[in-house]
A = this chain, B = another copy of it.
Amino acid sequence: MRNTQIHIQDDFWNEYSELVRRTVIPYQWEALNDRIEDAEPSHSIKNFRIAAGLEEGEFGGWIFQDSDLYKWLEAVAYSLRRHPDPGLEKIADEAIDLIGQAQHENGYLNTYFTIREPGKEWTNLYEAHELYCAGHLFEAAVAYYQATGKRKLLDISCRFADLIDSLFGTKPGQMKAYCGHPEVELALIKLYSVTGEERYLNLSLYFIDERGSRPNYYFEEWERRGRTNIWAQGEPNLEVYQSHLPVREQPVAVGHSVRAVYLYTAMADLARLTGDAKLREACERLWANTTGKQMYITGGIGATHLGEAFTFDYDLPNDTVYAETCASIGLIFWARRMLQLEAKSEYADVMERALYNNVLGSMAKDGKHFFYVNPLEVWPEASAKNPDRFHVKPVRQKWFGCSCCPPNVARLIGSLNDYIYDVSEDGRTVYAHLFIGSELSFEAAGRAVKLSQKSELPWNGRVEFSVAVPECGDGVSFELALRVPNWFQEGRPALKVNGEAVDYRVEKGYAKVERLWGDGDTVEWLLPIETKLIAAHPRIRADAGRAAIQRGPLVYCVEEADNGKPLSSLSLAEEPRLAERAVSDLLGGCVVIEGNGVVAENSGWEEDRPYRPLNKRSKEVRFKAIPYYLWGNREPGEMSVWLRY
């Protein structure tokens, strides 16, 4: 793909990027420094200070705690790219200095092993997350270098990457091993892309190729450790770590869902960069399984909290769900790479679904509270009193002890501009994957082109593009490829060029118009945003007899605050007569959906009479649904995405 420059300027998204810049990043910095009251301490900065010899103390937090600082630095880099901020940059530079001080002479860098288990480095690839943390370091370094031009973190990373490259591989004396938590694979590709160092690409490919080989390395090191693990009991569980089979042979998505999508992201990158057909087939097969059979309507993945994992096809319980924020973020990473492999709208559809629903919903409007688990049904009393649902929180939490999600949200939102467009290698086709107000600069036929997008999403479907080719009186020829979103709408969206309706062909889900574009040309892309009742595949048992509401990219939900409780008594009327209403005074402004519902008429049912003959008496009510991403921002209460019909 061609190099491009992209800046977001969008009413809807500016609010979030400003929230990240003004609130999330400063708040997370406080968290990394253990200065948030009533929140579990992070220990991150403290660990680095201890490892650097600046402070005495014990290692604190999870074994992968270093990655929190790296993810924060990556988010800072994206913020600086958009909004230069010398004060913030200074803080980041100091943090980078600190990281440098914690690095060993030989390039090794990991505060857990430096502080708590020196000498035990690389003895537990299965669980110890050393390469995972290295990966987040590399990602941060690449982003920081691209944003500021400063090489220090990049140099730290290369030193560490060089060490890793010397330790792992098939040469005599090297470890034939790979990380229990994929991440370094995708990060090495980024490191390769800015340094041009092919060893990093090859190392990534080595980790991918080695994964799942026999005899399994995790068993070997487990034996060497005297059959002990950090967390898990018993022998290594290969499925949970996606190392049960060589990756090219894995038939379906299994195991820890974040690990899975980080792995698939690297696989898609490598399939593109190496042209490996088997790897690409595996990506496509795993994609079809993940998004076709194991994805919630909100773009959430992972059906069980036990192992934070996928379970099996069509098993998508709404109440005991996991749908971790980081897993949806990883799904977006993967979708982005699949789009680069092949511009097919289904990848962008999933990217958009996960972004506008699961991921956006994970963050409170205050930027200081986050969901780790993103349920589709909440009963607060059950979350408090039924241990099967303790993991489902009805209220977003402050910084978590295991706080992978908040910095992941920050770095995704901060880099959202990278997710909107692709320009084909030959400069002839410009793909618009997402409809987010923005400016794209690229080169076509040797000319600098600027494409501006204005979007009324997610509330209205009107999108407008304007072309600027100031220096070219005769215009520039290229193909504009606009995604036809799969929002269940019927018919084709209308497309107008300079006010005139224009026909277009659809290829792999993109509406394509090729022409000689002149300076000031405009394109209107009129997406029908309709409120739809959606059914789930009949094999998804949790949703049988139920419907969800979707309008454009947004999934809706009903909350106790609007509809009383128990929400389970509410069902859709035979004719729901759904109506949209824009409200400015609710949750910062949104479009609500109102409809006719039916509530079972159970007056006079004694409270300790559990069962009685069925009567179907019911009364009509008018219910109100709000966008799912806004749930849980009022008083805690029940919530449900799926409604009986």
- A145 on interface, CB distance cutoff 8 Å: no
Nearest B residue to A537 by beta-carbon distance?
B610
The reply to whether B613 and A386 contact each other, CB–CB distance below 8 Å, is no
The reply to whether B612 and A535 contact each other, CB–CB distance below 8 Å, is yes
The reply to whether B607 and A292 contact each other, CB–CB distance below 8 Å, is yes
Nearest B residue to A353 by beta-carbon distance?
B611
The reply to whether A613 and B311 contact each other, CB–CB distance below 8 Å, is no
Query: A435 to B292, alpha carbons, bound, how many Å?
Result: 54
Q: 0/1 per residue, A608-632, Cβ < 8 Å to B? A: 1111111110000000000000000
Task: Report chain B residues within 8 Å CB of A616.
Answer: 645
From B309, B317, B385, B610, give the contact of A297 (CB < 8 A).
Answer: B610
- A563 on interface, CB distance cutoff 8 Å: no
From B311, B387, B534, give the contact of A612 (CB < 8 A).
Answer: B534
Task: Report chain B residues within 8 Å CB of A381.
Answer: 312, 315
Query: A61 to B297, alpha carbons, bound, how many Å?
Result: 46
From B288, B536, B600, give the contact of A538 (CB < 8 A).
Answer: B600
Q: Nearest-CB distance from A311 to chain B (Å)?
A: 4
- A332 on interface, CB distance cutoff 8 Å: no
The reply to whether A610 and B293 contact each other, CB–CB distance below 8 Å, is yes
Task: Report chain B residues within 8 Å CB of A312.
Answer: 381-382, 385-386
- A307 on interface, CB distance cutoff 8 Å: yes
A586-645 interface (Cβ within 8 A of B): 600, 602, 605, 607-616, 644-645
The reply to whether A292 and B610 contact each other, CB–CB distance below 8 Å, is yes
Instruction: Count residues of A near B (Cβ-Cβ below 8 Å).
Output: 60
The reply to whether B611 and A536 contact each other, CB–CB distance below 8 Å, is yes
- A289 on interface, CB distance cutoff 8 Å: yes
Q: 0/1 per residue, A290-323, Cβ < 8 Å to B? A: 0111010100000111110101100101011000
Task: Report chain B residues within 8 Å CB of A610.
Answer: 291-293, 295, 297, 536-537, 540
Query: A536 to B612, alpha carbons, bound, how many Å?
Result: 7
The reply to whether A387 and B306 contact each other, CB–CB distance below 8 Å, is yes
- A202 on interface, CB distance cutoff 8 Å: no
Query: A611 to B539, alpha carbons, bound, how many Å?
Result: 11
The reply to whether A609 and B537 contact each other, CB–CB distance below 8 Å, is yes
Q: Nearest-CB distance from A547 to chain B (Å)?
A: 5
- A362 on interface, CB distance cutoff 8 Å: no
Q: 0/1 per residue, A522-548, Cβ < 8 Å to B? A: 000000000011111111110011011
Q: With A544-B569, A569-B544 given, is the CB distance from A292 to B608 under 8 Å?
A: yes
Q: Nearest-CB distance from A595 to chain B (Å)?
A: 13
A559-599 interface (Cβ within 8 A of B): 566, 568-569, 571
Query: A303 to B612, alpha carbons, bound, how many Å?
Result: 21
30 pairs, A vs B, C-beta closer than 8 Å: A288-B608, A292-B607, A292-B609, A292-B610, A295-B610, A304-B387, A304-B388, A312-B382, A312-B386, A315-B381, A315-B382, A317-B319, A317-B386, A320-B388, A379-B541, A533-B613, A534-B611, A535-B614, A536-B610, A537-B609, A537-B611, A538-B605, A539-B566, A544-B568, A544-B569, A545-B545, A545-B600, A545-B644, A614-B645, A616-B645
Q: Which residues of A contact B (CB under 8 A)?
A: 288-289, 291-293, 295, 297, 303-307, 309, 311-312, 315, 317, 319-320, 379, 381-382, 385-388, 488, 532-541, 544-545, 547-548, 566, 568-569, 571, 600, 602, 605, 607-616, 644-645
> 14 extra interchain contacts, Cβ-Cβ under 8 A, other than A532-B614, A544-B566?
A292-B610, A293-B608, A297-B610, A297-B611, A305-B388, A311-B385, A317-B388, A320-B320, A320-B388, A535-B611, A535-B613, A535-B614, A539-B607, A544-B600
